[in-house]
């Protein structure tokens, strides 16, 4: 039963160029026929030429209220079929209307690192203040964002969208669809540098989000990177209110005191004149900055700061994004820090900092499994070599590497190195190496397939509850 329709036939007919015949309402929006449930609106994205009817028939059989499709060569007698000359354009038109009808605050998060974590933290923090919505992931951004907007409930009070970019000119068309009231810039680094002329072009690309915002809207900008002054200047040129955030120095939102442990941080901060003490349920200085960006966004959106502080204490890392597993084998307990989702210089450095904080007892070692980073262009070799100091500072005693540049970086860090040609070769060597109290850190490009290594380690181990794990260490 659909209590409040997400879409009606009249809306799709009025606000898109699609030709709607029947009268229906829908409670969801899908683009994969396998996911369709009764009452969904289905966009037949894989049927753009009308040549493959299987997905359309499947969606109808599953109870779709309406199916947006190119009806060339299709039997159009079913009034649920909605003719579109361009299904992607129809989805974008629907997304634009969904954004227009949403009465709440739209927050967009972009930057070179930390986007997903900040989006999750902002949404969770605002859930106490009203109905929330956020962008999905899993498709190309040109599909993710329109689909996420089309799925946005009418009564959404707070929406938080992750806006990424891998090349020049990608961000502005998407951000123009989202039309953020608040833009959060987490950092500027060298991710996807291969597709840009230089770092300055990356700055310009990230700053293009400001062109999609109305004068007087808010830009929340981290100062903890070398391009912050330029980003701030570009935001002000666009007529935006600028809120500066720093975990290192003075800013509109800044730290007054911080105590970091291997598993959390206790922070006293100034949130634009509001003193606040809170706990962050994740370790590392990057999470302190993430928490400040989150609280700044909550404050600007009109959310409950106090409840946001409570929420940050319970934040857990997403899968493959700094997720810490406590495991057990016949030889004893060990830890696995799974940060295997993607890699760029900023995220690798942050992960190594987290690794450096994790306890190894009296006999454990810090073992790093690292693959080459991708899409760094001509700067790739130097960017890898720049990681030598963070690797050394993390206390890595043994590195298992996949790719020549990370191998070179680990040699430069003067740690033990075993290099491999394929991810499947790493697990047997790592298994022989593992011992009690070891901490294994895994990080690399998505293309390296390190998630298979994670699966292999976990499947051969038993999980140990956190409390039991540290009681064991205390007894040692």
> What is residue 466's predicted lDDT score, i.e. its pLDDT?
65
Last residue of a domain, one of 51, 86, 121: 86
pLDDT at site 212: 97
What sign for the dihedral angle of Cα 187, 209, 234, 241?
Answer: negative
Quick one: 365 and 433 in the same domain? yes
Q: Could you tell me if 347 and 205 lie in one domain?
A: no
| Structure token pair of residue 268 | 């006293």
Positions of the chain with pLDDT under 50? 48-51, 469-476
Q: Is residue 288 part of a domain?
A: yes
pLDDT at 465: 78
353/266 same-domain check: no
Tell me the two tokens of residue 264. Answer: 């959390």
Q: How far is residue 435's CA from residue 431's CA, in Å, rounded to a whole number? A: 9
With 0-12 CB in 10 A as exposed, 13-18 as middle and 19+ as buried, what is 388?
middle
CATH code of 30's domain: 3.40.1390.10
Looking at the 3D structure of the chain, how many domains does it have?
3
Residue 333's domain comprises 323-475
Put simply, whether the predicted model's pTM sits higher than 0.75 gets the answer yes
**111 shares a domain with 77:** no
Q: Are residues 156 and 219 in the same domain?
A: yes
| Total count of residues recorded for the chain | 476
pLDDT of residue 475: 39
Query: Radius of gyration of the chain from Cα atoms?
Result: 24
Same domain assignment for residues 246 and 187: yes
Q: 179 and 60, same structural domain?
A: no
> Cβ distance 463 to 325 under 8 Å?
yes
Instruction: Note the pLDDT of residue 52.
Output: 54
- Clarify whether residues 381 and 302 are in a common domain: no
| pLDDT tens-digit map of 162-209 | 998 878 889 999 999 999 999 999 988 766 567 677 778 888 999 999
Do 268 and 342 belong to one domain? no
The answer as to whether 467 is a domain residue is yes
Predicted pLDDT of residue 474? 39
For residues 236 and 358, state if they share a domain: no
């Amino acid at each position: 039963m659909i209590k409040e329709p997400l879409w009606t036939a009249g809306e799709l007919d009025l606000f898109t160029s699609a030709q709607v015949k029947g009268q229906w309402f829908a409670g969801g929006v899908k683009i994969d026929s396998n996911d369709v449930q009764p009452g969904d609106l289905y966009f037949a994205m894989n049927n753009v030429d009308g040549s493959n009817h299987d997905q359309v028939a499947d969606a109808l059989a599953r109870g779709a209220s309406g199916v947006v499709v190119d009806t060339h060569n299709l039997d159009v007698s079913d009034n649920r079929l909605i003719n579109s000359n361009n299904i992607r354009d129809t989805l974008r038109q629907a997304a634009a209307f969904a954004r227009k009808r949403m009465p709440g605050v739209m927050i967009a998060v972009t930057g070179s690192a930390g986007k997903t974590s900040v989006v999750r933290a902002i949404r969770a923090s605002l859930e106490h203040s009203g109905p929330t919505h956020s962008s999905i992931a899993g498709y190309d951004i040109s599909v993710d964002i329109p689909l996420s907007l089309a799925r946005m409930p009418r009564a959404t009070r707070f929406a938080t969208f992750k806006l990424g970019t891998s090349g020049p000119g990608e961000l502005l068309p998407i951000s123009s669809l989202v039309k953020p009231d608040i833009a959060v810039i987490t950092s500027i680094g060298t991710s996807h540098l291969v597709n840009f002329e230089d770092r300055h072009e990356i700055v310009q690309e990230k700053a293009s989000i400001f062109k999609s915002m109305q004068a007087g809207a808010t830009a929340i900008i981290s100062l903890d990177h070398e391009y912050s002054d330029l980003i701030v200047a570009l935001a002000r040129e666009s007529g935006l209110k600028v809120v500066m955030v720093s975990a290192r120095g003075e800013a509109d939102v800044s730290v007054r005191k911080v105590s970091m442990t291997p598993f959390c941080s206790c922070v006293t901060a100034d949130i634009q004149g509001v003193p606040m003490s809170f706990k962050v349920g994740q370790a590392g200085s990057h999470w302190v900055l993430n928490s400040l960006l989150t609280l700044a966004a909550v404050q600007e959106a009109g959310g409950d700061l106090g409840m946001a502080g409570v929420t940050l204490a319970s934040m857990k890392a997403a899968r493959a994004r700094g997720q810490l597993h406590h495991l057990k084998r016949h030889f004893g307990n060990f830890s696995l820090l799974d940060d295997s989702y993607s890699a760029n210089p900023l995220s690798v450095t942050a992960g190594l900092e987290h690794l450096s904080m994790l306890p190894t007892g009296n006999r454990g070692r810090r073992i790093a499994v690292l693959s080459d980073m991708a899409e760094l262009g001509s700067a790739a070799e130097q960017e890898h070599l720049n990681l030598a100091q963070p690797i050394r500072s993390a206390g890595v005693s043994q590195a298992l590497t996949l790719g020549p540049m990370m191998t070179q970086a680990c040699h430069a860090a003067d740690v033990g190195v075993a290099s491999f040609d394929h991810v499947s070769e790493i697990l047997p060597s790592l298994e022989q190496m593992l011992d009690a109290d070891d901490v294994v850190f895994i990080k690399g490009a998505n293309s390296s397939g390190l998630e298979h290594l994670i699966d292999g380690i976990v499947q051969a181990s038993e999980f140990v509850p956190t409390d039991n794990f540290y009681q064991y260490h205390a007894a040692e």
